[in-house]
Structure formats: structure tokens, C-alpha cells
Structure 1
Amino acid sequence: MPYSQPPPPPNHQHPRPSYPPPQWQPQRPRSGGGAGAIVGGIFGVVAVVFVGLVVIGALVKGGRHADPVSPVAIPTLTPFERPTSTPAASESTESRLSETRKDSTETTVTRPAKQVVNTSLKNNTLYRAGSLPRVSCPAGSASIYSHSQLKALILKTSRCLDRGWAQIMRAQGLTWKRPGYAITSGRGRGACGDFPSGGSIVPYYCPRNETIYASTTAMVKGSGSSGGYGQLTDWHGGVVSMMAHEYGHHIQQLSGLSNEWWGQTLRSSSQSGKLALSRRFELQATCFGGMFMRSVSASYPVTPARRNTLYYFYSRVGDWAGNPRDHGSPANNNRWFRQGYEKNKAYQCNTWLAPSSSTS
């Protein structure tokens, strides 16, 4: 049954897709799935609820063998599109010390004159950022069943995410800033609405205030008929990788991918078209999460056995029969997490150039 979306901000100008909540009933293996509540706009203050992937499947503990699928291969980096405008002939490049633009929150950003930032989906400047550098980020033995321990781990690893992504984004002339965090043990209300939404377990990223919201109890133990991540693995790497997915939405926001995706969504004339765009958007965030887990694998650590736990984890989350196809099939969630983990290149997470079969 459809649920009510969080109320839009006063300047909200666009209709919002409305999907049923994720459902997971263990006694019915085919039920369950992930549904994202999307709220946003192209200009001005946007409010898009970026939800994480939803756990579904059989009740299990610990690691399993990886789903036997091959990562998606995107062999080359597509050249950037040529700029649509150039400086006037009388104004030399050398004389133009900087150029400014207005970002989506009306902040003036100064950039070097020779750097042209591309915000398109297929040729975004972010894709030239390369690999996330190796980051030292020992996780310790935090229990996912302790709110204080899990919250501390999430905030600790968020600094590791900062160190990696800030470095490669700034190198490409992209603005980077740290997202905010609101981590509670129960339920709460954020700038984009309640978290988690009724019957859901997933955290969400709200671009209105660039904050990630999450309930540790819902994520780990579940909510309503939705099972928790702790029913797939009691290792904290599963939850942290999901938070890395939400951080991936922050990277999409800062690089302009979010606005471009939402603009195309609004222009799409069919529900199937909107869902196809949503899947590419969410799978890209999953790929970015895989990049992060690879970058900390030596120190976290993510051993080969734990890597397989993550592969299994991502083969059990995504869209399932009877639910909206807005996050991608479990097989493709597994593929794109592996793509990020094994390739660890920003352009290898370019879901917008991938075949539709890998984003179904």
C-alpha cells in the first residue's frame, strides 16, 4: 500500500514519484524489496530523499560465497563534451583569473579559468577523478547491536570517506564539503521527512541540508515487515558499506549528477523511463560505496572472506518481484558493488553508459 511522502519544502515546484514502502516477509521469499522516496527539484533548494538499498531474502548470519556474476566492464573513459560556449575573442584565457557560477544553493564558487566543469551524467568531470586513494581506517570490533558503538563507527568511517573523496574531487576542480549526519537509535524527523519512513529500515541522504539520516535499530534489526541488515550479516562492514552508498549520493549532489538525473526524470514521459533513471542513479551510488570499501580494505580490514561477505550481502539487496524497480535487481546490485570494489575507478561507475541489461 502506498505511503505518504515527506512534505515538500515551500519552494517545491515539481511532482514527486510515489512508491510503495519496502516490504520483507521472511515466510514469503518472493516478497520484499527496495523503494526510494524521491523528493527534489532542479533549481533552487532541492529536496530529494535518497534512500539506501533495502534488505530482503532469507534470514542468514555471517558471510556466504559471492554470487557468481562478473562485474560490469566499461573499458574506456568517454571524452568530455565540448563546452557550449567560449570566452569572447577579446578576452584571453590568461587574463581571466577565475570564473564563477551559482550552485544549487546559491553559493558563489570560484574556479580556475582553465578548468571546465562538466555536470552531465555521461561525461561528468567526476569520472576523471580516478581511484580513491588507500585510506587507513581501522574499524575495530564494534557491535552492530550496540547503538553507541555502531554510531561511533559510522562517524569514524565518515571521516575516512571525507579523506578519500575530498582528495580526488578537489584535484578535478570540484567543490567538496563534508555532509552532515543525524544518527539515532530509534526514529526521527529530518529536513526531508521522517527517518526511516514507515515500515522501512533504510537511511537517506537529504540534499536540502546535505545530511545523512539513519536509525541504527531499524538498519540492524528491521522495522515492520522489513528485515534488518543484521539478518544478512552481523559484521559491521555491511552497515558501513550502506552508509558509503548514502555518501555516494552526496558525491552525486556535489558533482552535479543529482540535478542532471532529476531533470531527466522530470522530462521523462513514462513511469518506466523514470524508474530506469532511478536504477542507474542508485546503482552508481552502490558502485561508489564499493570503491570506498576497496580503499580501506587493508586497514579496516576487508579480508578476502569479508569481501565475499559483502558480495553476498549485495546479492541479497535490491528490487524484488512485486515491488517498484527503482534500485536495480539483486544481481545488478552485486555487479555494481563489485565493479566499484574491483575496478576502483570513478569512470567505471558510469552507469549512464552501461547497457540496460546491467541496470535492470
Structure 2
Amino acid sequence: MSHGRRWQEMRFDEDAELDSSQVEDVGGSGGFPGGGIAIGGGAIGIIGLILVLLFGGGIDLSSLESGGQQPAQPGSDLAAECRSGADANANQKCRIVADVNSIQAFWSGEFARRGGRYTRAKTTLFTGSVDTGCGFASSAVGPFYCPADRHVYLDLGFFQDLRARFGARGGPFAEAYVLAHEYGHHVQNLVGIMDQVGADRQGPQSAAVRLELQADCLAGVWAHHATQTTDENGRPFLARLTDEDIAAAVDAAGAVGDDRIQQKAQGQVNPETWTHGSAAQRMRWFKIGYRSGDLNQCDTFSAAL
């Protein structure tokens, strides 16, 4: 099987009904509007914010940004383009819609099963830079969740950078893992876990690391149930998921471990400045969630990391 073909194994049910209202595409200016990145609460981006926090802007992030003087890029009409699983199989943005639908359908059901109520978070697709409830952010921040406005923000160019800069294998389910991780933060926000972080934001045993590893575990819990999660008509969003897809998600989790990023950026590893956990930890906690399918197994705040 060729490298290109195996990513086709992840398939959505062609007749699954998509709810494009859960995702908006705002396009973007293509440049960073200036000023600092104001990101509140637990909104910790997978890639760029690690670099900004750990290295104080000393790393060249230019390939993660769009370059300053490009014309505005309009967003897509997702409501017209993304109606079914067949659209998700043919179009990346529609695939994002389907991923978000599946993730939120799962958490809605899980909250209800436990006597709670899940509140949806919208995903905003942007290009270059975006204004959020947590302040302006550029593509350099990577995907992130803003607890202030309960939105997930994503520049799709991140997935190319994930492969090119950080050596991840990539593929559709690696992208789904990234989204599921960010929605893990939304779950943490809804149940008050983010409040436990406080000022404990660096170090191998820090609350920030425990928060991120828990989000990886929650992403794995969704992945365990992904092919059983259905639309409002009872059709599963994901019709097929393979071992290769899960391996791609695990690989993506490892690619953004603090130790791997630090080694690439500065040639050495300093655990005392970790904010997300090591590659081994991130892969391990995703697999704990995936193998168990039980969010009760994701108590990273009590468990040994």
C-alpha cells in the first residue's frame, strides 16, 4: 500500500448529515496585525505558543506565518459546500466540519449519560491572523482553544507545518486528533478543570502539563468511540477507521512533545520549561484514552505522569 493511499482508509459515511453551523471560515488578512498575542486561561496552542513561551520569540516562526502584505482572503460558504459525509471525504474543510460534528456529538452524549449538559464550542478557520476573545493571534500560535469565547481556532496551514517542521506523518486522522485535543480543552473548561492550573504553568509535573496530557487522553477517548458516534439521524459520521489512522494520531501527539520541539529548536531539552509534556507522555496518554474509551482513566492530575 502506498503512503498516499493509506490515508484514504479513514472514511466518513457518505450519507451522514453535516452541521456546518459548528464551524465558520472567516478567511483572513494574511498578516499579523501587530501587538502581543493575548491568550487567556488554558488556551495553550499546540505548537507556536510553546515556542513563544519557552524561547521568547527567539525562534524564527516566519514559515508559520503568512508574511504581512497579502490581500484579504474571503472565507468559504461551508453551509453550501459541506452537507454530507461524501463532501467530507472530498474536501478538507468539510472534513473538519465532520470531525467537529463527531467530536461534539460524542461529548454531548457523554455529558448526558452522566447527567450533565454539553455546550457546543464553535471552530473558527482563519488564514494568517484572527481576532479572538483571548486577543489577536497569528498562525504562529498553532491551533488553540479560547475559554473566553469558547471557540477553537485553526489555520489549516498548520497541518502542513506539522509535517514539514516537526516531522509528523500527517493525514486526516492526525488532523482529527488535533481538533479532538482542542475540544478536550473545551470539556475541561466546561467542568472547571482549567481553574486548577492557576500559575503552575511550567515544569514536567506542572498543572499545565497535566492539563495538556489530559486533553490528549480525552482526544483518545473520543477516538475510541468515533465510529459509533452518529448524526441526528443515527448514521455514524466515521464509517471506517484503521490502525494506520490511530498510528497517525499517536505520531502527531509525539511530534509536538516539548522535548522534541526543544531539541529541534535549541539542540537541548529543559524539562523545567515544559508546558505540554514529553513526546512519550503525550503518546501514552492518547493511547490510554483510546484503549479504555473511559474518561475516568484520564485523571492526569492524580496519576503519575
TM-score under structure 2 length normalisation: 0.63
SS in 2 for 1:183: strand
CA distance in 2, matches of 1:232, 1:278: 23
- Relative distance call for 1:138 and 1:178 in structure 2 (3 A) is farther
Equivalent residue in structure 2 for 1:6, among 37, 40, 43 = 37
- Relative distance call for 1:139 and 1:277 in structure 2 (3 A) is farther
- Relative distance call for 1:257 and 1:55 in structure 2 (3 A) is closer
Shift in Å, 1:183: 0.5
Residue aligning to 1:340: 289
Which residue identity lines up with residue 37 of structure 2 in the other structure? Answer: P
Which residue identity lines up with residue 257 of structure 1 in the other structure? Answer: I
Which residue identity lines up with residue 245 of structure 2 in the other structure? Answer: R
- Relative distance call for 1:188 and 1:54 in structure 2 (3 A) is closer
TM-score under structure 1 length normalisation: 0.54
Identity %: 24
- Relative distance call for 1:195 and 1:233 in structure 2 (3 A) is farther
SS in 2 for 1:213: strand
Which residue identity lines up with residue 175 of structure 1 in the other structure? Answer: R
Structure 2: tracts of 5 or more residues without a match: 1-33, 51-84, 229-237, 260-268
Residue aligning to 1:186: 128
CA distance in 1, matches of 2:218, 2:93: 21
CA distance in 2, matches of 1:181, 1:345: 25
* 2:131 counterpart of 1:155: no
CA distance in 2, matches of 1:155, 1:278: 28
CA distance in 2, matches of 1:336, 1:250: 18
Shift in Å, 1:315: 2.5
Residue aligning to 1:205: 145
Which residue identity lines up with residue 216 of structure 1 in the other structure? Answer: L
CA distance in 2, matches of 1:271, 1:310: 25
Aligned-CA RMSD value = 3.2
Residue aligning to 1:66: none
Structure number with greater CO (CA < 8 Å, separation at least 6) is 1
> How many residues end up aligned between the 2 structures?
220
Residue aligning to 1:100: none
Which residue identity lines up with residue 175 of structure 2 in the other structure? Answer: V
CA distance in 2, matches of 1:138, 1:344: 27
CA contact (8 A) 1:54 1:318 kept: no
* 2:272 counterpart of 1:330: no
* 2:251 counterpart of 1:312: yes
CA contact (8 A) 2:88 2:94 kept: no
Residue aligning to 2:161: 222
Alignment of 1:22-171 (within 5 A): 39-40=40-41, 48-52=42-46, 141-142=89-90, 149-171=91-113
Which residue identity lines up with residue 148 of structure 2 in the other structure? Answer: R
Which residue identity lines up with residue 333 of structure 1 in the other structure? Answer: R
Equivalent residue in structure 2 for 1:279, among 200, 204, 209 = 209
Shift in Å, 1:310: 2.4
SS in 2 for 1:353: coil
CA contact (8 A) 1:220 1:228 kept: no
Shift in Å, 1:227: 4.5
Which of the pair is proportionally richer in helix?
2
CA distance in 2, matches of 1:189, 1:331: 34
Alignment of 1:248-327 (within 5 A): 248-259=184-195, 261-262=196-197, 265-266=198-199, 272=203, 276-297=206-227, 299-320=238-259, 321-322=269-270, 324-327=273-276
- Which of 1 and 2 has greater Rg? 1
CA distance in 1, matches of 2:165, 2:131: 20
